[in-house]
Amino acid sequence: MDSSPKPNNDAAYQHVFVMRHGDRIDNFEPLWVSTAARPWDPPLVQDGMIRAFRTGQRIRSQIGLPIHRVFVSPFLRCIQTASEVVSALSAVTVDPNAMSSKDVPSIDTSKLKVAIEYGLCEMLNSVAISGQLAPKDGNFDFRLSDLEALFPEGMVDHNVDMIYKEMPKWEESVEGCRERYVKIVKALADKYPTENLLLVTHGEGVGTTFSTFYKDTTVYEVDYCAYVELRREVSSKDGSVETGEYEVVFSPGQAGISLNSESMVVGLYDYRKLTIKSGKDYSSSEVQPGQTLCDGFCDCSVWYKPYKHRPNEGSSLSIFTEFSPLADPSFEPGRPVESAVELGHWLQRKSCGRYRVTLRFCWTEGGSTYVEEEVMCGRTTVIVNANGYICAIQKPGRAAATTKIIREEVEANNRDKILQKVKGHLTSAKSEFSGPTVVVKEGQKKSADQEQEERERL
């Protein structure tokens, strides 16, 4: 009996998703590599598992397309990411409260099949892997049977032959690696032209795919579990399949790829209304960019100029907050705290350019500084244009230290304004007084008793 997934013969398009893996442990625990047996092959942290599963849920609920096959890089972080994604895609029942594959009681293995593909592996050079961590003999040893065992039973298709029969050689060039990524995407799509594919790979693979099929674009950052969706027309004629050109599809709520383009990328920075709803006591607001819900604490907001290498974002309002990147979709409304109300007032006033706090850490008129980049990595920034629409959301993180700086700057700015008003009032009052100025030196003041004694003597 054929266990392979049924192709989508009625579809006019083939869709190919190219996704980066989840959060790797060595970026969160730097000392991990010192004791790891395979320091060049880090696993995911727990948050990475959750992110991967929730991304699979989002693809299932928002894209509305079946995924027939999943191909994955042999690196452990990609295997774990793919395992979480396929569990979300193949769950018999959809539980909005599920956070990982452990919360899925049953899997339908007939929905899709999985296979490992060497061609999707990481760049095998010192740009991506430190030469001190790479195997001394250049042999990246993967036990495929152990990796395949990490997927739900019955999910792996053992009849699939790899496009790349062996791993690339160590110290492959960056250009050679990028050519490999483009080649493997096209080869897998051509091999299964009537099926929708998900390719789980690395950041360079996602960025290369995007910039290859979306012209005049340079990708400079790909977040964990960010993905590119490609689409091409497929038709049958005289028993053969004909395919059209690839195009990049921008889906609602899609995020995680930062780029600089010569032309306006309307799709990626799909401007959406910022909706502020009341939140629970422990989180002040629910922010809804498009169809993506994220539970967040909006603590402060200031104006600053955009980066020079992001000309498409325009004049922007940055909202420094603490967002949960994996918000519970069953978020219940509650009492809003003061910061949520303050944020709502900012957007209602549309005070574009009326009030701007110049911060040493945030001011970018002269270009990005090292200190600024350091601060940027420690907070979430929502970029909103002059019309109150979201342009982009940057990485989540703590905002406490930045918030303190912002508050101090705002308070100092307000104090300066008050002092200027008071000083101006005193100067004006002094100029109106035309009488003599009397100066009483210290020691010349006389008490009432001393004055009484002098009068008695007289």
Range(s) for CATH 3.40.50.1240 in the chain? 13-261
Distance CA 91, CA 101 (A): 9
pLDDT band at 328 (very low <50, low <70, confident <90, very high): very low
Q: What gap in Å lies between CA 396 and CA 320, rounded to an integer? A: 10
Contact indicator for 44, 83 with CB cutoff of 8 Å: no
E strand segments, 73-161: 113-116
User: Of 9-23, 89-103, 189-203, 321-335, which gets the smallest average pLDDT?
Assistant: 321-335
What pLDDT is recorded for position 348? 47
Q: What is the CATH number of domain 13-261?
A: 3.40.50.1240
- The greatest distance separating any two alpha carbons of the chain, rounded to the nearest whole angstrom, comes to 133
How many other β-carbons are positioned within 10 Å of the β-carbon of residue 109?
A: 17
**Amino acid identity, residue 53?**
F
Question: How far apart are alpha carbons 123 and 116 in whole angstroms?
Answer: 16
Q: Which residue is it, tokens 């705002």?
A: 410
Dihedral, 80, 83, 89, 95 alpha carbons, nearest 10: -80
Find the distance separating the first CA and the last CA of the chain, reported in whole Å.
130
3-state DSSP assignment of residue 109: coil
Compute the radius of gyration of the chain from its Cα atoms: 30
- Determine the Cα–Cα distance for residues 455 and 85; give it in Å rounded to an integer: 100
Q: Ramachandran region of residue 161, left (φ > 0), alpha (ψ -120 to 50) or beta? A: beta
Do the Cβ atoms of 314 and 385 come closer than 8 Å? yes
**Per-residue pLDDT reduced to its tens digit, 169-213:** 999 999 999 999 999 999 999 999 999 999 999 999 999 999 999
Q: Tokens standing for 264?
A: 């306006």
pTM greater than the 0.85 cutoff: no
Question: Which structure tokens are listed for 219?
Answer: 């990708």
Tens of pLDDT, residue by residue over 183-195, are 999 999 999 999 9
